[in-house]
Structure formats: C-alpha cells, structure tokens
Amino acid sequence: MHPKGILLVVMLCTSGSLSLAQKQQLNHAAAREGNVQSSRSEHSEILRGLDQAMDEVAERVLPAVVQISVSGFGPRERSGNENIMERQRGVGSGVIVDPNGYVITNAHVVMGAQRIQVIMRSVNTELVPGKTSLLHKQRTFEAQLVGTHRLTDLALLKIEANDLPSIPLKQEYRARLGQTVLAVGSPAGLDHTVTKGIISALGRQTDLDHPMIYVQTDAPINPGNSGGALVDRDGALVGINTFIYSQGGGSEGLGFAIPEPTVRFVYEELKKYGRVRQTVIGASAQTVTPTLAAGLKLPQDWGVVVSDVVPGGPADKAGLKPRDIVIAIDNREIDSLPKFAASLFLHAHDQAVQMNVLRGAETLKLYIPAIEAQGGVESLADLVDPRKGLIQPLGIFVLDLNKSLFDMLANLRSSSGVVVAGKVDYTAPIDADLAIGDVICSLNGIRLTSTSHFRSELDRFKPGDPVVLEVERQGRIQFVSFDME
C-alpha cells in the first residue's frame, strides 16, 4: 500500500470510533490501492506476454538463419613494387528458405568468392544455471553458388543437406507500416544476433535511377547482417536485410530489406534457370509531374505515364499508346515508377500483362503479351562462378561460349572461345586490354574451346613470353598482346 494510505489507516484507527464518512474514506483508499496493484499486475502480464511472444519468434527463426563465410584472393597492402596476392575472408548472413539445402543471401556477400561456407549453429536461447548453454554445436557445409542477380542484390546457395530448419517463402505477404519486426543475422561475425524495431516505411526507393524498392526498418542492422532475415511477429519473412544508411559505419536506424515477394521471385528463377529472366512489353514509362501533366493536358498530375511504345512490339499490338496513364498492373495499383518496374519484374512469364490505363476520360483494360528481354553484357556477371571462371594473371572472370550465351549476345561471329564476364576489383599482374563482353577466340593461334583450356594454355608460358589473344569485340576481330609476367 502507498505510504499515504498506511498513514490514513493509522490515523483513523487511533482516533477511536470511526464515523460513517471516515469508514467510506477508508474503503475508498483501500479500493484505490487495490486498483493500483491490479493495474500493475495487468501491465506486468502484458509485458511478460510480449516478451514471451518475441522469445518464441526468435526461437523459431534462429535455426534457419546461418552465417556465410567467404574467401578469395586479393592484393596485400603494397610495399614498393611487389604485387602479392593473399587469401582474404569475409562474413555475412543467409537464410535457409528450403529444408533441402537452399540458402538465400546477398549477391555482394558472395561476389568474387572462390570458396563459400555455410555455418549452422544450434543455440540455447535460455540461460539455465549449471548448463553450458553458451557452447554452440556447429556444423559447416561447403556451398555451391547456384546463381546471383545483381539488380536485386540476391544470390542463391546450395548445400548438401536435408530436413533443415527453414523460413518458407509464402505467397501470402503482409507488411504494415509500424508493425514490430526482428532482424536476425551475424553483425561483425556475431552469429544469432537478434534486434527489434518496426517497419518505418514500405516501398522505399533509395535511388531515383534504380527501380528497386525496399522495406525500411529502424531495427539495428550492422555490417555482417547482410543476407539475414527480417521477420514479423509470426516469424514470417518480411525481407532480406541488405544495406544501411550510415555516416559512421554503424546502425543509425535506417536499415533496408529486400521485400519477400522479390526474394521469392528471384529464388524461383535462380533455382530453376540459374538466372533471372526479365519481362519486357516494348514500352517505357516515367513519373508524372505537375509540369508534365499541365504541358500534356493529362487528366491527373501524379502517377506514371507511358512515354514511348516500340512500333510493332507487344504493347503496340495490344493498343497501348503514349500519354496513357497506368492505373494498375495485374490488379496492383500503380502510383509510382518503382511500382511500375516492380510489377513488371514480378510478373509471371507465361501470362499476359493485365494493364489498366487512363486515356483522357476513358479507362481501358489491356492484355499485353510478356516477352523475355534479351540479356546483354551487363547480365554476364550474374552467370559467373568465381571458383571456375577466374583467370588470375589477367584479373578477369570468363564464361564458356555455349549456345545460351551465343543467343544472349546478338550478332556474334565467333562460335567458340570464352567470354569476358567480369573483372576483379584490384590491379591484376597483367594489364591486358580486355573489356566486358569480349570473346577470346584463340591464344597464339590455338583455338580455345573452354575456360579450362584457356587456363591450361596460359599456364604453359614463362615470364617474358609473348602472348597474343584473338578477340572479337562488338563484331570486330582484333589482337590483344602482352608479355607474360
């Protein structure tokens, strides 16, 4: 009881017989004190229930969030003119999304890695006296890179294991502004770290020149969290944590996650095809501004307007016209250019795009056949396996020129060789004049048939030997020469 309540009772009891008013005063004081105690108990139960609910979510998702360890080669800090390559390591996070060993992480976590390991730990989430709950059982798996997609910054790994704990990718996706979320990952290599926050924004576009949209959260996310899970109070995946805005390098409450629908789409594409097919309709769009609306006399001064329709393309044949305002795609409301791009990106490839447009005062529903975009040189890096494709002396990653690549790179004259798909981010021992998309056809007159053939032929040369590569670049044949280092 509150001290004032005790004093009141003592005063009334020592003053002899109580009057009716005094008895009522005493009863009211006791009732108030009882209500306070009851309120405290109710609040305690609410907090205990909230803690228990968060505990249960954490226990459910923790086993499915893994640590990703990557290793490769990079230059040591230079001293004089030496150029010494050393093994370098990095750590990120990943999420098991299929109990048969499929793990989603960020593309930037595994980019350039020659060895990828997935580390799983079983951990007790409750400290019990007398038990060694801090000694974690660790399992390490060698991982195969199934594929990457740089646009969404996602990568799919495969480990040889079954019946694993997982966070499934569900068709039902619900994310609401302000709802509680947990971020799980391995910041600074500290596995099974859980932080709590809310969804700060949905559909956030962080770069006007980049069509990706993100879930924004204030749950603390730090380097090493990349590829980890952002989950809701039911343990369902909200997104894959990918980056933060920070001036000091640590969490400042501005974290971003790739939304689950995007993760699910990329996962299914990479698992089935090893790459992500892109849907195009033969039309371009841009954001409607008040000035644009006034100048073109559009019926509204916000949203998305069709700016170009390719003659003879799918959109043209379906009746889409410039100045049409896009209202919805596949029954998803379109109010911004990122939503327009995202809706086309997530569209099923075997179905027509249903597009609702506003043309003047008339609303139209169009069905536009979806076609797959032809990949260009910018898509080559998504196909690289760093363990197989690195030509270390030249500092390049290459791919075998097969039928799929031949079809992707239009108008090729060469039918065999290797394609330059990427470059390392350090100074290579040999500075050869090679560009992304080049087809290396021969080496000192020897026709190349594969990456392994190219590597074995290059290994035969001694320092100082002359090397001449026959290269097709943008439809023209030229020679690239250098002395072997």
What is the Cα–Cα distance from 309 to 332, expressed in whole angstroms? 21
Residue from 217, 17, 23 nearest 8 by CA: 23
Q: Helix, strand, or coil here: 219?
A: coil
Q: Which 3 state secondary structure label does DSSP give 432?
A: coil
Nearest C-alpha neighbor of 96 from the set 181, 33, 156: 156
Helix (H, G, I), strand (E, B) or coil at 43: helix
| Rg of the chain over all Cα atoms, to the nearest angstrom | 31
Q: Which of 67, 72, 61 is nearest to 191 (CA)?
A: 67
Tokens (6 digits) for 389 = 């494709």
Q: In terms of DSSP H, where are the helices of 424-466?
A: 451-459
Q: Active-site positions?
A: 108, 153, 226
Report the alpha-carbon distance of residue 101 to residue 24 in Å, rounded. Answer: 71
Angle, to 10 degrees, between the axis of helix 3-14 and the axis of helix 20-61? 160
Which residues, 6 or more positions from 480, have their beta carbon under 8 angstroms from its beta carbon?
A: 432, 433, 434, 468, 469, 471
DSSP label of 474: T
The 8 Å CB, 24+ separation contacts for 338-342 are 338/203, 338/205, 338/211, 338/212, 338/213, 339/203, 339/213, 339/304, 340/285, 340/304, 341/211, 342/211, 342/212, 342/213, 342/262
Q: Alpha-carbon dihedral of residues 10, 16, 21, 26, nearest 10 degrees?
A: 20
* Of the candidates 150, 152, 153, the residue with the CA atom closest to the CA atom of residue 106: 153
Task: Please classify residue 217 by burial: count the beta carbons closer than 10 Å to its beta carbon, then call 0-12 exposed, 13-18 middle and 19+ buried.
Answer: buried
For residues 316 and 310, is the Cβ–Cβ distance under 8 A? yes
C-alpha distances out from residue 356 to 328, 342, 350, 352, Å: 5, 16, 19, 13
First to last CA, the chain: 87
Spatial contact of 317 and 330, defined as CB atoms under 8 Å apart? no
Token pair listed for 377: 């040189």
